[in-house]
Homo-oligomer: A and B are copies of this chain.
Amino acid sequence: MHGFKFYEKATRTFRDRSLLSKILIIGTVSGGGLVALSDSGTFQNINGGSAQECKKKKVVVLGTGWAGTSFLKNLKDKSYEVQVVSPRNYFAFTPLLPSVTNGTVEARSIVEPIRNIMMKKGMEVQFKEAECYKIDPDKQKIHCRTTGSSNLGGKEEFALDYDILIVAMGARANTFNTPGVVENAHFLKEVEDAQRIRRTVIDCFERASLPSLTDEERKRILHFVVVGGGPTGVEFAAELHDFVVEDLPKLYPTVKDFAKITLLEAGDNILSMFDKRITAFAENKFKRDGIDLKMGSMVVKVSDKEISTKDRITGQLSSIPYGMVVWSTGIGTRPVITDFMKQIGQANRRVLATDEWLRVEGYNNIYALGDCATINQRRVVEDVSAIFSKADKNNTGKLNLKDFQEVVEDICERYPQVELYLKKKQMKTIDALLKNAVGDPKMEAMELDIEKFTNALSEVDSQMKFLPATAQVAAQEGAYLADCFNRFEHCEKYPEGPLRFRGTGRHRFHPFRYKHFGQFAPLGGEQAATQLPGDWVSIGHSSQWLWYSVYARFSPLCSKQVSWRTRYLVVNDWGRRFIFGRDSSRI
């Protein structure tokens, strides 16, 4: 054998080193560079069966999205036997999905295998790649089957028992039963959707380049329609515009002038959940870019080549020929959740309701979080007599200020709408509210009966808010729930929550409280809009850089959710795109 002394030495060095040394070597070989550390973690066998196991509580987690993964990542207590069931064996960083549709970021860079996450925990966690199609809360069982995407033919079915069930299955795209949407439109919820859209865009350009077509046909095929002006739709339209303007004209010079993007929005504005300045900026930018914005357009039908709309005001119907439609109008409930809701008496609800501790109403051992559920806040008006009698310790039928001050913190924690109401009315404390109700006596001598107390609180429920169905909310819910699970025994002994107004003692945990860190909307052309809490708005190139750096480094939104591996890959992708442009291979 002929020798390559240098190579052999280098190889030996490589094989003998630890991970850290490998990184250093690679760093040196590559002359420095963008190199990140992977989370290190030792593997622990989760297969062994000890006697202690029998006592462990079986926790089944349904779903590996933001909520489920966040729960898994934050769970530390080893006294649970955790099983995760999901048709996807990975977590996907969904805010970057629109970037995947044009190759700014690769699909594989935004996913993290769930088994990697589990492995690093060194806990008893098992994963089953399957879809839960039925929840049986009475028998404490879920029924699952493998998904159709399997190459192995046939569907495998099985059931799992649980002691505690965590439902975090997310939502599906909402078509509002519009005919033809499922058959003809693309959604943008899963990684596969983004990959399919990317292939379709290239397909449209390739197809339009064929010699046998008329220019009319070319125009149709290169007409991209986005339905829905929310953050996903807007970001996708912006990314698509960048792709179509920056990369494709060079490659498809003969057809580039036929390409057009239209955004249909049923409301009056795009990005209506953002500050008006952002909405205006985005609309102007889109108009300058030549993206056709059609407000007040409700889609009534999608055929294979045409999309039919109805003007919300004039009622006028019109048809637009298209090559690709991306449907992004919000979320709907999955069939398995609808079925579960029927079983537990929530048939008339739009979405699965939980209490403030994320427990499905009526079931102490079923939690629901993320997009598949919503927190059904308790109304003050329903509990007002319970609150009164709890505060009125001596049963005098009157509350004085001292009585009240003892429970005020608990009220504010249990009913967050009280605080929001005060804020809205620009009152500093609840005292002012009561003062208003009794008509300004001296505070010290103030006394309220139940009637006045009810009056004082009668309007606070108007400030109840539903949390938006965002990744941020889901991730915080998952982390919150894991934290409760981690401290279950401790809090059993030393409950830390507010007073149980309708029962005795205190709640075991603080109720879930969402902390809003702000919202990004990338608008294409290296520009983005940011809205942070406190009316802090930033728009333009600086925001895009903020987005890059927030994502890559110090984001409180995602720091726990995103591994170093994913970060490295995404930053790498951005660099690659910057140097080489986006790839137009149809794979």
Contact = CB atoms under 8 A, between A and B. Distances in A.
A327 B210 CA distance: 34
A153 interface: yes
Interface stretch (A350-358, A374-382, A428-436, A531-539): A531-539
B251 A119 contact: yes
A113 to B, nearest CB: 5
A565 B545 contact: no
Interface stretch (A33-41, A414-422, A447-455, A464-472): A33-41
Given A207-B156, A221-B152, A580-B38, A11 B113 contact: no
A152 B537 contact: no
A408 interface: no
A12 B541 contact: yes
A129 B586 contact: yes
Contacts of A10: 545
A253 interface: yes
A542 B8 contact: yes
A253 B45 CA distance: 7
A72 to B, nearest CB: 14
A477 interface: no
A2 interface: yes
Given A580-B38, A583-B111, A586-B88, A575 B152 contact: no
Contacts of A576: 568-569, 572
Interface stretch (A192-200, A292-300, A437-445, A492-500): A192-200
A584 interface: yes
Nearest to A26: B575
Nearest to A254: B47
B542 A3 contact: yes
A314 interface: no
A196 B580 CA distance: 27
Contacts of A1: 537-540, 542
Nearest to A584: B113
The 5 closest A-B pairs by CB, nearest first: A33-B33, A32-B32, A90-B585, A7-B545, A129-B206
6 contacts: A1-B537, A1-B540, A30-B32, A32-B32, A150-B203, A569-B576
Given A14-B526, A156-B210, 9 more contacts: A7-B545, A11-B542, A15-B526, A35-B579, A89-B586, A111-B585, A119-B251, A126-B209, A191-B587
